Structure 1
Amino acid sequence: MATIVKRPSGKWQATVRKDGQSRSMSFHKRADATKWARETELSADRGLLTPALSVGASEMTLGEVLRKYRDDVTSEKRCADNESYAINGFLRKCSQLANKKVNKLRSADFVHYRDQRIKSMKAATVVRELGWLQHALDVACDDWGQNLPQGNPVKPVRRPKIDNRRERRLQEGEWQALLNAVNQSRSPLMKPLLTLALATGMRRGELLSMQWRHVDLERRTVFLPQTKNGRARTVPLSPNAVAVLMDLPRADDRCLPLSGNSVRLAFERLRQRAGVIDLTFHDLRHEAVSRFVESGLSLAQVQMISGHRDLRMLMRYTHLQTDDIVAKLAAVGLD
């Protein structure tokens, strides 16, 4: 019996099953998948659908799929460092699941994985992990000849609800405590990185990908050809940001030649040394954008600096200090 389904990649997967044996193939056009299915069914009726043909394409384990996915697919992504780190962690900590053949995987395996991970990780992290697990199995099925008899087992797994809204602002003394702590850091680039994060409101990935050829110190701008939302933008630089950039060495094409993971680990260490609780690197972007608004810039001007695609997203970052609003209301004499 033949079945033809459209994969998330847009390809058409044809599967022929007979007497406990199966064979699958993916095509760009449905017509080609249908033609292949008819020819394979005829071969099966003649007894030519051999076990070697049916099981050979399904011999990969989940671990083998993930290693190939990491090397062939993840390596081409902008988030390659972070995703590769996450995949390597999965391979180390989930060896029992990684050693399963892909055609033996079931949704229950990943439901259990989700329930265990959510105990120690944020919902957004778990959702990202389920995302690359699902994509890896889709690629294995579409491009590497793997057979998933019941479809992708990750797809029906319910994702945890994400609530990324944060109102964390720097409290009195915290910024100085961070700067004092970062002076003890083994990386001389952490202090300029933190200072630029607060001065520009740029994302961590944007700061780490910033190249000298895109920096114009005379015009006090930096051009970002690639950003999280896919839109290039030019970021204006404050005098403080220009001063930091002028003091940086130019031995590399990048202004801050650090990896995302090394920054994550270094920030966690210095945060603990500074005694600052519940602060993430991304909170510095939140703080910067809020300060832009508090300084009197319009939301449209802040949007140009921060790169938010619409004002609704920008409003999530502009939690103005209540005391400032009270002072302004008193100044204008509103009853």
Structure 2
Amino acid sequence: MTITSPPTVRPRRLRRNAALRRLVAETDVRPRHLVLPLFVKEGLAEPAPVPSLPGVVQHTRDSLRKAAHDAVAAGVGGLMLFAVPATRDAVGSAATDPDGILNQAVDDVTAEVGNDSVVMADLCLDEFTDHGHCGVLTPDGDVDNDATLARYADMAVALADAGCQVVGPSGMMDGQVAVVRAALDRAGHPNVAVLAYAAKYASGFYGPFRDAVDSQLTGDRKTYQMDPANAVEAVRELALDLTEGADIVLVKPAMSYLDIVRRAAEQATVPVAAYQVSGEYAMVEAAAARGWLDRDRVVVESLTSIRRAGASLVLTYWATEAAERLL
């Protein structure tokens, strides 16, 4: 077939070579956009690989400092710390112990990287409780929202005292941001920021993370984390956290909830973060190990999709590796 009238509008003109594509790219991913989650476990003699998260380890305090140093050298914007204590109890006492593993890790990393990176910590009880839930339980086994808030307030102050610059309340308790903000201010930490897990879903993509923190959970968290079917509810949660004083709002997971990331970006007047969670990471690693996809290409593509949806920050286990390639 002969085309008698060739098209005058040719979008392909701007795709002809790498230089043109780079010139007109609408979205970029830079090292500063990335936050690296890190796990430290009390009592380890050497780093322990997490089988369901290839390339991720439970760190010793020494290896944590090195990992933090390497991430900062690569230009990673922030570090989010999680800890696995040697002992757990019903109220997560180790979370507020100044000599507990998470507070020690915050102090270690802050001493290692100073102001060259933003040191953040997960503010939740699930790693510290012997039942694995994110809060204090009632006698009949439900999570007691308001009793949990009191523990979050104490944990926020302990983390700030240890040197944490950003605390991340992630338990999805009603009113958690307001309580944490008030506790920090009362304790003389008005400059410690609150990264609110505003829309955290009861997702099936968290499985490998539970290996990483040696989770004690039985059952599920559906009474406090959000139903994956709901989007309007996420808008409500975001509005509440913003009203309560959140400095950053976060959507978790990221890749299966890009519509929620977009809604958050359109609604929020603060930066929006998104967490590329363990299951999203593990799926790519597993498929790449079988030769089913181009790993390096998919890593960057996945991060770009989260940024394109509107995230200012992306928490990802690929942060250091990706940053080294994006420099």
TM-score (norm 1): 0.21
Higher helix share goes to which structure? 1
| Higher gyration radius (CA) | 1
TM-score (norm 2): 0.22
Report 1 or 2 for greater relative contact order, CA contacts < 8 Å, sequence distance ≥ 6.
2
Higher strand share goes to which structure? 2
